[in-house]
């Protein structure tokens, strides 16, 4: 997590002398530790952080509100998103979709089918295929007349213009 600019910004913010009440406990403050602790405990309160690092809740609030710390947290979260986990989630959702299709197909093969099940299956199928109201609108194809008019306008704009008139010199 080498972000020299962000670390310097946080160092400057942390260099402010904490209030006397916070100076009683001597704990080594580490940006990386705070970031990791926040990510590992997303519901942690400012009071808990203040107690952990030996500063006041107000000081912790200032640090947490800083853009520098927020950028460090975002960078660290990005590091922690394992591509294997992301890929496995995609695979799991694909498997879920395939299994759901199998279940729906077995429901549709029953001798008696509820109308709502059949309608919902039709909706889902149409949506998956991009049909019906879910399909993106097709761009309108220009008619031959439109293209001809456009070509004429472009050629008119490209022709040199002659301005007729008299010139008067103003001294």
Per residue in 115-137, is it b (16+ CB within 10 Å) or e — as a string? eeeeeebeeeeeeeeeeeeeeee
Q: Which of 33-37, 94-98, 147-151, 158-162 has the highest mean pLDDT?
A: 33-37
pLDDT > 60? residue 27: no
Per residue in 63-119, pLDDT (tens digit) is: 888 888 888 888 888 777 666 665 676 777 777 777 887 888 888 888 888 888 888
Three-state DSSP class for 66? Answer: coil
Distance CA 48, CA 50 (A): 5
The encoded tokens of residue 117 equal 């099940």
pLDDT > 80? residue 61: yes
* The pLDDT value given to residue 28: 47
Query: Mean pLDDT in the chain?
Result: 75
The Cβ of residue 104 has, within 10 Å, a number of other Cβ atoms equal to 16
Distance CA 114, CA 117 (A): 5
């Amino acid at each position: 997590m080498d972000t020299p600019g962000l670390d310097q910004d946080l160092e400057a913010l942390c260099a402010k002398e904490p209030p006397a009440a916070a100076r009683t406990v001597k704990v080594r403050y580490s940006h990386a530790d705070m970031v990791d602790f926040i990510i590992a405990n997303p519901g942690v309160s400012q009071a808990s952080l203040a107690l952990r690092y030996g500063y006041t809740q107000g000081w912790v609030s200032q640090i947490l509100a800083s853009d520098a710390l927020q950028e460090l947290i975002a960078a660290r979260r990005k590091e922690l998103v394992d591509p294997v986990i992301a890929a496995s989630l995609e695979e799991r959702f694909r498997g879920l979709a395939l299994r759901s299709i199998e279940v729906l197909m077995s429901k549709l093969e029953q001798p008696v089918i509820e109308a709502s099940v059949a309608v919902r299956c039709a909706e889902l199928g149409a949506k998956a295929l991009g049909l019906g109201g879910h399909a993106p609108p097709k761009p309108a194809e220009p008619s031959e007349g439109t293209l001809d008019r456009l070509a004429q306008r472009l050629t008119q704009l490209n022709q040199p213009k002659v301005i007729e008139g008299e010139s008067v010199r103003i001294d």
